[in-house]
Chain A
Amino acid sequence: MDKTKSRIVGVRVNKEQETMLSELQQKSKLTKSELLLKGLETLAEYYSDSGAEQEPMQTALQRLESEAVRHMVSLRKIRRKEEAIKEFVREIRKIDEIIDRHGCNPSMLIQILLDVQKQNNWLSKPALVWISERLKVPMTRIMQIATFYTMFSLEPQGRQTVQVCLGTACHVRGANELLTRTQSVLNLKPGETDPEMKHTLKTVNCLGCCALGPVMTVAGAYHSNPSVAELKELFKES
Chain B
Amino acid sequence: MNEIRENITMKKLKSVKDIKRLQKTLLAERKGIRKSIAVCEGTGCHAYKSSEVADAFVEEINKRGLDKEIGVRRTGCHGFCERGPMAKIFPEKIFYFKVKPEDVPEIVESTLPGKDLVEKLLFLDDKTGKRCAYQHEIPFYKLQNPVVFGNNFLINPKDIEDYIALGGYSALAKALSGMTPADVVEEIKKADLRGRGGGGFPAGLKWETARDAPGQPKYVIVNADEGDPGAYMDRSVLEGNPHSVLEGLMLGAYAIGSAQGFVYVRQEYGIAIENLPIAVAQAKQLGLLGDNILGSGFSFDVMIHQGAGAFVSGESSALMSAIEGRVGEPRPKYIRTAVKGVWEKPSVLNNVETWANVPLIINNGSDWFRSLGTQTSKGTKIFSLVGKVKYTGLVEVPMGLTLRQIVYDIGGGIRGDRKFKAVQTGGPSGGCIPEQFLDLPVDFDELSKVGSMMGSGGMIVMDEDTCMVDVARYFTRFLADESCGKCIPCREGLRQMRRILKNITEGKGKPADLNLLEELGDFLKEASLCALGQTAANPVLSTLEYFRGEYEAHVLHKQCPARVCQSLIVFYIDPLKCSACATCRKQCPTDAISGDKKLVHIIDQGKCIKCGTCFQVCPTRFSAVTKLPGGPAPEPVAYGTKVAQKSKGEK
Chain A residue at minimal CB-CB distance from B311: A205
A94 within 8 Å of B (CB atoms)? no
Residue of A nearest to B617 (CB): A227
Shortest C-beta distance, B268 to chain A (Å), equals 7
Of A28-36, A37-45, A72-80, A108-116, the one with at least 4 CB within 8 A of chain B: A108-116
**In the bound complex, what is the Cα–Cα distance between A105 and B305 (angstroms)?**
13
CB <8 Å contact, A206 and B230: yes
Interface residues of A in 65-119 (CB under 8 A from B): 105-111, 113-114
- Chain A, range 199-226, C-beta contacts under 8 Å to B: 204-213, 215, 222
Stretch at the interface among B5-13, B101-109, B382-390, B595-603: B382-390
B268 touches A168 (CB 8 A): no
By a CB distance below 8 angstroms, the chain B residues around A151 are: 267, 308-309
Q: Known: A109-B325, A172-B471, A184-B609. Contact between A150 and B309, CB under 8 A?
A: yes
Whether A152 contacts B609 in the complex (CB less than 8 A), given A106-B325, A172-B387, comes out as no
Determine whether the beta carbon of A211 is less than 8 Å from that of B617.
no
A134 to chain B, nearest CB (A): 13
Query: Which of B227, B268, B306, B326 meets A207, CB within 8 Å?
Result: B268
Q: How far apart are the CA atoms of A205 and B232 in the complex, in Å?
A: 12
In angstroms, Cα B616 to Cα A212, docked, is: 16
Mask of B572-596 contacts with A, CB within 8 angstroms, 1/0: 0000000000000001111000000
Quick check: is B147 within 8 A (CB to CB) of the other chain? no
Please tell me if A180 contacts chain B, counting CB pairs below 8 Å: yes
A9 contacts B by Cβ under 8 Å:
no
- B231 interface residue, CB < 8 Å from A? yes
Q: Using an 8 Å CB-CB cutoff, how does the interface string of B269-312 with A read, 1 for contact, 0 for none?
A: 10000000000000000000000000000000000011111110
Which residues of A are found within 8 Å of B610, using beta-carbon distances? 177, 180
Query: Within 8 Å CB of B612, what residues of A?
Result: 174, 177, 180-181
What's the minimum C-beta distance from B440 to chain A, rounded to whole angstroms? 20
Complex interface: stretch among A10-18, A19-27, A52-60, A141-149: A141-149
In the complex, what residues of B have CB within 8 A of residue A114's CB?
267, 306, 308
Interface residues in A170-212 (C-beta closer than 8 Å to B):
171-174, 176-177, 180-181, 184-185, 204-212
Interface contact B388-A208, CB-CB below 8 Å: no
Among A110, A144, A166, A227, chain B packs the most CB atoms within 10 A around the CB of: A110
> Once the chains bind, are B589 and A173 in contact (CB under 8 Å)?
no
What A residues does B609 contact at CB under 8 A? Answer: 180, 184
Assess whether A228 is in contact with B325, with CB atoms less than 8 Å apart. Answer: no
Set B310, B329, B384, B590: member contacting A150, Cβ < 8 A? B310
Segment at the A interface, from B194-202, B245-253, B458-466, B507-515 = B458-466
Q: Are B229 and A167 in contact (CB under 8 A)?
A: yes
B182 within 8 A of A: no
CA distance A176 to B562 in the complex (A): 14
* Interface of chain A, main secondary structure: helix
Q: Which residues of chain B come closer than 8 Å to A172, judged between CB atoms?
A: 387-388, 460, 462, 466, 471
State whether A169 and B387 are in contact (beta carbons under 8 Å apart), knowing that A107-B325, A111-B305 are contacts in the complex: yes
Within 8 A of B (CB), among A108-164: 108-111, 113-114, 141, 144-145, 148-152
- Is A144 within 8 A of B327, CB to CB? yes
Complex contact A168–B458 (CB within 8 A): yes
Please judge, given known A-B contacts A107-B324, A169-B387, whether A208 and B392 are in contact too, CB under 8 Å: no
Q: How far is the CA of A105 from the CA of B323 in the complex (A)?
A: 12
- The residue of chain A having its C-beta at the shortest distance from the C-beta of B81 within the complex is A211
Contact check: which of A176, A181, A210, A229 meets B384 at CB < 8 Å?
Answer: A210
In chain B, residues 427-485, which have Cβ atoms closer than 8 Å to a Cβ of chain A? 427, 458, 460, 462, 466, 471, 474-475, 478, 484
Question: How far apart are the CA atoms of A4 and B376 in the complex, in Å?
Answer: 141
- A207–B235 alpha-carbon span in the complex (Å): 11
A150 to B478, CA, bound (A): 13
Query: Are the CB atoms of B84 and A211 closer together than 8 Å?
Result: yes
Q: Which residues from A are CB-within-8-Å of B310?
A: 148-150
- Which residues of B in the span 557-583 have a Cβ within 8 Å of any Cβ on A? 564, 566
Residue of A nearest to B474 (CB): A171
Max chain B C-beta neighbours (<10 A), residue from A107, A114, A204, A211: A211
Among B393, B474, B564, B587, contact of A229 (Cβ-Cβ < 8 Å): B587
Count of chain B residues with a beta carbon within 8 Å of a chain A beta carbon? 62
Known A168-B474, A181-B589, A184-B590: A205·B566 in contact at CB below 8 Å? no
Known contacts A111-B306, A172-B471, A184-B590; is-contact A208 B82 (Cβ 8 Å): no
Residue on B nearest A137 in the bound complex, by CB: B325
Contact, CB under 8 Å: B616 / A210: no
B590 engages A227 (CB within 8 Å) = no
* B328 part of interface (Cβ distance < 8 Å): yes
Which of B269, B386, B392 neighbours the largest number of chain A CB atoms within 10 Å of its CB? B386
- Report B-chain residues with C-beta under 8 Å of the C-beta of A167: 229-230
CA distance A111 to B462 in the complex (A): 38
In the bound assembly, the distance between CA atoms of A181 and B566 in angstroms comes to 13
Given contacts A172-B387, A204-B268, whether A212 and B325 have CB atoms under 8 Å apart is no
A228 contacts B587, C-beta separation under 8 Å: yes
Give the residues in chain A near B484, CB-CB below 8 Å: 148
Residues in chain A near residue B232, CB distance under 8 A: 206, 208, 210
What CA separation (Å) do A180 and B613 show in the bound complex?
10
Q: Nearest CB to that of A169 among chain B residues?
A: B386
| Chain B residues closer than 8 Å to A208, beta-carbon distance | 43-44, 232, 235, 268-269
Q: Does B424 contact A (CB under 8 A)?
A: yes
Q: Which residues of B contact A113 (CB under 8 A)?
A: 308
Chain A residues closer than 8 Å to B462, beta-carbon distance:
172
Chain B residues with CB under 8 A of A180: 566, 609-612
B230 touches A227 (CB 8 A): no
Q: Are the CB atoms of B613 and A107 closer together than 8 Å?
A: no
For A110, the chain B residues whose CB sits under 8 A away are: 305-306, 308, 322, 325
* Residue pair B611, A152 in contact (C-beta under 8 Å): no
Complex-state Cα separation, A150 to B268, whole angstroms: 11
Known: A107-B325, A148-B327, A168-B230. A209 touches B47 (CB 8 A): yes
User: Which A residues are in CB contact (< 8 Å) with B267?
Assistant: 114, 151
Q: What is the distance, in angstroms, from A98's C-beta to the closest C-beta of chain B?
A: 13
Contacting residues, chain B, for A205 (C-beta < 8 A): 227, 229, 311, 478
Q: Which one of A111, A166, A213, A228 contacts B613 once the chains associate, using CB atoms below 8 Å?
A: A228
The residue that B611 contacts in the complex, of A141, A149, A177, A209, with Cβ under 8 A, is A177
CA distance A151 to B125 in the complex (A): 42
When distances are taken between beta carbons in the complex, the residues of chain A under 8 Å from B269 are 208
Give residues 301-355 of B contacting A (CB, 8 Å): 305-311, 322-329
State whether the Cβ of B228 lies closer than 8 Å to any Cβ in chain A. yes
When distances are taken between beta carbons in the complex, the residues of chain B under 8 Å from A181 are: 589, 611-613
Whether A107 pairs with B388 at a CB distance below 8 angstroms is no
What residue in chain A is nearest B329 (Cβ atoms)?
Answer: A148
**Chain B residues, CB < 8 A from A209:** 43-44, 47, 81
Q: How far is the CA of A177 from the CA of B608 in the complex (A)?
A: 12
How many Å lie between the Cα of A181 and that of B613 in the bound state? 8
Listed A/B pairs (23) with beta-carbon separation below 8 Å: A110-B305, A141-B327, A148-B327, A148-B484, A149-B310, A172-B387, A172-B388, A173-B387, A173-B388, A176-B566, A177-B616, A180-B566, A180-B609, A181-B612, A184-B611, A206-B227, A206-B229, A209-B47, A210-B386, A212-B44, A213-B386, A213-B392, A228-B588
With contacts A107-B324, A110-B308 known, what are 6 further pairs, Cβ within 8 A? Answer: A148-B327, A172-B462, A205-B311, A207-B268, A208-B43, A210-B230
**5 tightest CB-CB pairs across the interface, nearest first?**
A149-B308, A167-B229, A222-B47, A210-B386, A169-B386
Chain A contact residues, CB within 8 Å of chain B:
105-111, 113-114, 141, 144-145, 148-152, 166-169, 171-174, 176-177, 180-181, 184-185, 204-213, 215, 222, 227-229
